A and B are shown apart, each in its own frame.
Chain A
Amino acid sequence: MSGPTGRIPWSLPERTDRRRAVVDAGLAAVPTALAVALGVVPLAVLLVESLSPPVTLSNYAALGESVYLPVLVRSLGVGVVITGACLAVAYPVTYWLAHVCPVRYRLPILISFTLPLWLNYVVLNYTWVWILATDGIVNTVLTAGGLVDRPLDLLRTASGIGIGPVELPGPSVGLGFVHIYLPYVLLTMYVSMERLDYRQVEAARDLGAGGLRVFRDVVVPETYAGAVAGALIVYARIAGAFATPQILASPSEQMIAQIITTQFYDVLDYPFAAAVSVVFLVVVLVGFGIGALSTDVRAELKRW
């Protein structure tokens, strides 16, 4: 890659510069070629496919009329609810970790909270089956303790609470999702929370602010960028998840990735699957665009 080796005469800086630029471009081309072949080209193929045969919008029209539009809306709703739940847990936990916990325990606890990021999510989802099944741990404890007469239907049951297609996730799929995505949010929030100057909290308390007031007027304004960044990181993954609803959701709680997979694998309707994907992608990207409008959030995302 260095061509003729040896001393580069520094009396010819221009030629050296040009040669080094060529080397740099050559080195850049390798990963870029892979990324273009597996990222840009497939997305272009998807777009073309969704408009086929030759050029038609019929696949999009079919999506508008099908039962799949509510599935898309429900998936996005699940993304919002689970992201909110993760943030609700992450706020007190990271606050405690960054400002209350003794310093020498901070790193071990943070590592133990983020260790599940390394674990297999199919396996992690599966572990909930044995906790929530009718003969699982929770129901065994509840029935043995005489708290319920017969086992509760916790596994693969829809919540039935919601408006239209937007419905709260059932217990098993909800717990499974939070279990997988909470570590991501904890990690993003911790970075933000650590930068919050604790003296601001103390000052607000000395001035008579209560816990909620401190949270609303000091903690949130100082850390919202981390919260939004964390939300952006997990939101699309939740809405587009396949394994979790497949393993833990009731059949009535189908999500968009399951539709796409079925169309690809069983129905073999590539154009329709592509149209569903393109619509989903556009919705997700719009969400990203809105989130990334804030420069604070962009700075936070750059860390990832």
Chain B
Amino acid sequence: MVNPVAETSDRTGAAGWVRRHAVAALRGGFFRTTVVATAVFLYLPVVVVGYLSLSPGSQPSIPLDGVTLRWYGAVLSDARFVRGLVTSGVIGVVAAVAGTGLGLLAARTIVRARLPGWLRASVAVVVAIPLFVPTVVVALGIGITAGRVGIGFGLVPVVAGHLYWVLPFSTFLIASRYATIDRRMAEVARDLGADGVTTFRTITLPQLWPALVASVLFAFALSFNEFLLTFFLAGSGVTTMPLEIYGKVRIGATSFLNAASVLVLLFSGAVAAVAASLEPPT
């Protein structure tokens, strides 16, 4: 048995002081090492691809035997890739704007609607399906349904799929903001004679604005980067940026792919930076 008093006195003595500081330094070292290693781990791959994208040859050798931007030129003049990029951008804008609109309606339903609680809860569950059902299962389900119903594959199923994919994120992003708005303000406006539309436009909308902007940006990024759902629904006629990249990975087009990756990462990173500057994620 250790005498507790002896132990306490040991910890307050000089030896204890040294030991405690040594332990603290060690502990600090452990945490700092983990944090630095995590940062390196998250960003090293991006840096490596950025470096290799400057390779003069189509197959980079390490270290590089020269530096050139020619692969960026090749990417931007590749009709297929640019078409994929434009398609992804257009689908992304549609999904961001329409998805945020639908998310606003769903958020209003969940937080504010004068409907029975069970009905609002079931709307929340149905909207949240893509969050807890694995994407491959959702994708296969929509794919088989599209085939069976006869809609087939192509742009319309892809856009619909993306809308559904971004819906839970925009819904819950907007709902969390909606819940903080004092509902009495809207009630007062209505008591003073404003109709529903006017009340929403002048009272609720301004307060929701930051969440709506965040939702548009986040939904755009989600749609722009979405791969698996598109893979199941695109058919042969539609190509998006992630499908193009995936196709190039399979055939092993290296320097071209490195430059394309950097362009895509820079673009998504810029969208994220705008979002981060607008509203902190916590």
Contacts and interface: CB of A to CB of B under 8 A. Distances in A.
Interface of A: 1-2, 5-8, 10, 17, 20-21, 23-25, 27-28, 30-32, 34-43, 45-46, 49, 89, 92-93, 95-97, 100, 107, 109-124, 126-131, 135-137, 140, 178-179, 182-183, 187, 190-191, 194, 208, 210-211, 236-237, 239-240, 242-243, 247, 256-257, 260-261, 264, 270, 273-274, 277, 280-281, 284-285, 288, 303-304
Contact of B123 (A7, A32, A114, A211): A32
B197 A2 contact: yes
A100 B123 contact: no
Given A40-B126, A115-B272, A179-B41, A31 B106 contact: yes
Contacts of A285: 132
A178 B38 CA distance: 11
A236 B132 CA distance: 8
A20 B275 CA distance: 35
B276 A111 contact: yes
Given A39-B138, A123-B264, A116 B42 contact: yes
Contacts of A284: 132-134
Interface of B: 7-8, 11, 23, 27-28, 30-32, 34-35, 38-39, 41-42, 44-46, 48-49, 52, 60-63, 102-103, 105-106, 108-109, 112-115, 119-120, 123, 126-127, 129-138, 140-145, 147-148, 160-161, 163-164, 167, 171-172, 176, 190-191, 193, 195-197, 221, 224-225, 227-228, 231-232, 241-242, 245-246, 249, 254, 257-258, 261, 264-265, 268-269, 271-272, 275-276, 280-282
Contacts of B32: 96
B95 to A, nearest CB: 12
Contacts of A187: 281
B223 to A, nearest CB: 11
Nearest to B98: A34
11 contacts: A2-B197, A24-B109, A31-B171, A34-B167, A35-B164, A93-B35, A118-B268, A122-B225, A123-B245, A243-B246, A247-B246
A1 B196 contact: yes
Contacts of A117: 272
A42 B105 contact: no
A2 B44 contact: no
The 4 closest A-B pairs by CB, nearest first: A42-B141, A240-B134, A127-B45, A118-B272
Contacts of A190: 282
A118 B269 contact: yes
Contacts of B145: 41-42, 45
Given A2-B196, A100-B31, A126-B257, A273 B140 contact: yes
Given A114-B281, A128-B45, A261 B31 contact: no
A20 B114 CA distance: 7
A119 B258 contact: no
B109 A28 contact: yes
